[in-house]
Amino acid sequence: MANDSRPAVPVDHFWMPFTANRQFKTSPRLLESAEGMYYTDTDGRQVIDGTAGLWCCNAGHGRREITEAVSKQIARMDFAPTFQMGHPLPFELAERLAEIAPAGLNRVFFTNSGSESADTALKVALAYQRAIGQGSRTRLIGRELAYHGVGFGGISVGGMGNNRKAFSSSLIPGVDHLPHTLDLTRNAFTRGLPEHGAELADELERLVTLHGADNIAAVIVEPMSGSAGVILPPQGYLQRLREITRKHGILLIFDEVITGFGRVGEAFAAQRWGVTPDILTCAKGLTNGAVPMGAVFVSEQIHEAFMHGPESAIEFFHGYTYSGHPVACAAALATQEIYQRENLFQKAIELEGYWQDALFSLQGLPNVTDIRTVGLVAGIQFAPHADGVGKRGYEVFRQCFEDGLLARASGDTIALSPALIVEREHIDAMVDRLANAIRKN
Ligand code: PXG
């Protein structure tokens, strides 16, 4: 809402990501501080954070332990190279992460974002196949509606049309897409994982028949798609993908940038749903969003395949200036300490039923066509407005913010993903505000 008392913020020069810049700048929504479950905006209004920032502040905002760890580290050593040099923190962090990772995924490559994690994972997969003498395995398989960030690898295997359109002639070659698993006809208003759709994984067999398994390097999926509007894996679907990939020597990559660090319960979705990939990517919750950082976990066997040839040879020609950045590592170590001490990876399981009941109270409100929840995630889908797809989703989001709730709109789906420190009264307040916004739109 426009407010004349707001201090003037110069809005012209920041080209905002994934934002309708002109629309936003006519009436900016600006956050100024954050604590626990709340943001305070530049008008001094408290806003419940229904989205853990952008799915990243899983331990809530303003965690003193993280602030202190980061301040101490930046004062002690602001930066140190990790190319042909090292410092203790990324080694410590990798060991700590290996303890919570799905079984066997105990080698860790550090990046600075989910996009870099996705591209790194794809490169590991291709280089691995070469290293084991399977150099013809160059094809990659993604999925419709998938989001794997914005690098060329990520948008190539990704399946969101708007993210690909302008770059269609520059996408990496040799990529196919499995069908997405969103099926309102059969699964609308299912509580928990959808009953129908495991057979969609069999499309992978069709691609194997088409191309030959010996031409396919890897399949990448989000165990649960976040960005496209919370699309859940049908019961048995991930297991089926695992069976087919294993049978054909195809690597399975889980992109857990959103599902990692407790979002659906357990540390990773792989553990919650009992399916272990060969490679797993993460970011966001790794540092509670406080400092940019991502990571790629690989199995010891994949790592081992690279450790051949002369010992003086670099095994993998890949890395970032900031891989294992000391300040990011300090933030991540402090974050992991909080997750463990407060048992936060169990919170999404403990609260799952309450969360689901609260969200399903929205069933029957005008234009609500589906409700999907799992762990501490929800997607509430609306029938599109006559003026176009996405308008109703945006208007509900806008109204929520006006009423003191930060939600996230993806097309005509509102996504909620509160910090794992959320309590029942926050859930009630969120659902009240959302219900109100839905009634007005
Ligand atoms: N993979 C997945 C599964 C993601 O969700 C990325 C990769 C890319 O991460 P970076 O750190 O490069 O942004 C993501 C990011 C939303 C939303 O509202 C989701 C993301 C980012 C911003 C908004 O759904 N996911």
Residue 392 is part of a domain; what is its CATH number? Answer: 3.90.1150.10
How many other β-carbons are positioned within 10 Å of the β-carbon of residue 40? 14
Distance 227 CA to ligand 1 centre (A): 7
Given a contact cutoff of 8 angstroms between Cβ atoms, the answer to whether 214 and 250 are in contact is no
Question: Which residue has its alpha carbon closest to ligand 1 atom 10?
Answer: 114
Q: Output the pLDDT for position 435.
A: 98
**Is there a single domain that holds both residue 250 and residue 154?**
yes
- Could you give the CA distance from residue 392 to residue 70 in angstroms, rounded to a whole number? 41
Q: CA angle 104-86-281, nearest 5°?
A: 35
**Is there a single domain that holds both residue 81 and residue 113?**
yes
Pocket residue to mutate for ligand 1, from 19, 54, 268, 296, most atoms within 8 A of Cβ: 54
Q: Output the pLDDT for position 123.
A: 98
Encoded tokens for 49 = 């954070």
**Is there a single domain that holds both residue 257 and residue 141?**
yes
**Is there a single domain that holds both residue 94 and residue 165?**
yes
Which residues are 36's β-sheet partners? Answer: 61
Q: Output the pLDDT for position 2.
A: 47
Closest to 328 (Cα-Cα) out of 147, 106, 82: 82
Distance 356 CA to ligand 1 centre (A): 24
Residues 6+ apart with CB under 8 A from 108: 93, 94, 97, 98, 101, 295, 296, 297, 298
**Is there a single domain that holds both residue 330 and residue 380?**
no
- Any domain includes 1: no
Residues 6+ apart with CB under 8 A from 207: 141, 176, 178, 216
Which residues are 110's β-sheet partners? Answer: 295
Q: What is the DSSP letter of 408?
A: E
Residue 428 is which amino acid?
D
Given a contact cutoff of 8 angstroms between Cβ atoms, the answer to whether 417 and 51 are in contact is yes
- Could you give the CA distance from residue 385 to residue 73 in angstroms, rounded to a whole number? 50
**Is there a single domain that holds both residue 39 and residue 141?**
no
* Ligand 1 atom closest to the CA of 294, numbered from 1: 11
Pocket residue to mutate for ligand 1, from 55, 117, 152, 291, most atoms within 8 A of Cβ: 55
**Is there a single domain that holds both residue 356 and residue 305?**
no
Find the domain containing 227 and state its range.
67-341
Q: Output the pLDDT for position 238.
A: 98
Give the burial class of 356: count Cβ atoms within 10 A of its Cβ; 0-12 exposed, 13-18 middle, 19 or more buried.
Answer: middle
* Ligand 1 atom closest to the CA of 258, numbered from 1: 5
**Is there a single domain that holds both residue 251 and residue 283?**
yes
Question: Which residue has its alpha carbon closest to ligand 1 atom 24?
Answer: 227
- Any domain includes 6: no
- Any domain includes 286: yes
- Any domain includes 8: no
Given a contact cutoff of 8 angstroms between Cβ atoms, the answer to whether 156 and 139 are in contact is no
**Is there a single domain that holds both residue 121 and residue 169?**
yes
Distance 214 CA to ligand 1 centre (A): 31
Domain boundary among 341, 376, 399: 341
**Is there a single domain that holds both residue 382 and residue 267?**
no
Domain boundary among 294, 316, 341: 341
User: How many angstroms separate the first and last alpha carbons of the chain?
Assistant: 17
Q: HSE on the CB side for 281, CA within 13 Å?
A: 30
Pocket residue to mutate for ligand 1, from 257, 377, 412, 413, most atoms within 8 A of Cβ: 257
Q: Output the pLDDT for position 8.
A: 76
Distance 38 CA to ligand 1 centre (A): 21
Give the burial class of 435: count Cβ atoms within 10 A of its Cβ; 0-12 exposed, 13-18 middle, 19 or more buried.
Answer: middle
Encoded tokens for 400 = 């929520």
Distance of CA 284 to CAs 44, 93, 140, 192, 242, Å? 27, 15, 24, 24, 25
Number of structural domains found in the chain: 2
**Is there a single domain that holds both residue 194 and residue 309?**
yes
* Ligand 1 atom closest to the CA of 116, numbered from 1: 12
Strands of 175-178's sheet in order across: 107-111, 294-298, 279-282, 251-255, 216-221, 139-143, 175-178
pLDDT tens digits in sequence order for the chain, 441 residues long: 444 554 479 999 999 999 999 999 999 999 999 999 999 999 999 999 999 999 999 999 999 999 999 999 999 999 999 999 999 999 999 999 999 999 999 999 999 999 999 999 999 999 999 999 999 999 999 999 999 999 999 999 999 999 999 999 999 999 999 999 999 999 999 999 999 999 999 999 999 999 999 999 999 999 999 999 999 999 999 999 999 999 999 999 999 999 999 999 999 999 999 999 999 999 999 999 999 999 999 999 999 999 999 999 999 999 999 999 999 999 999 999 999 999 999 999 999 999 999 999 999 999 999 999 999 999 999 999 999 999 999 999 999 999 999 999 999 999 999 999 999 999 999 999 999 999 999
What is the Cα Rg of the chain in Å?
22
- Any domain includes 7: no
Domain boundary among 341, 362, 394: 341
**Domain containing residue 88: CATH number:** 3.40.640.10
Q: What is the pLDDT of residues 362-393, one digit of tens each?
A: 999 999 999 999 999 999 999 999 999 999 99
Please provide residue 409's backbone torsions phi and psi, each rounded to the nearest 5 degrees: -105, 135
Pocket residue to mutate for ligand 1, from 18, 57, 112, 147, most atoms within 8 A of Cβ: 147
**Is there a single domain that holds both residue 275 and residue 365?**
no
Question: Which residue has its alpha carbon closest to ligand 1 atom 21?
Answer: 54
How many other β-carbons are positioned within 10 Å of the β-carbon of residue 68? 12
- Could you give the CA distance from residue 395 to residue 412 in angstroms, rounded to a whole number? 9
Which residues are 221's β-sheet partners? Answer: 254
Closest to 399 (Cα-Cα) out of 359, 361, 350, 432: 432
CB-based pocket (< 6 A), ligand 1: 54-55, 113-115, 118, 147-149, 222, 226-227, 255, 257-258, 283, 408, 410
Q: Output the pLDDT for position 191.
A: 97
Could you list the beta-strand ranges (E) of 135-182.
139-143, 175-178
- Any domain includes 319: yes
Q: Output the pLDDT for position 1.
A: 45
Question: Which residue has its alpha carbon closest to ligand 1 atom 18?
Answer: 227
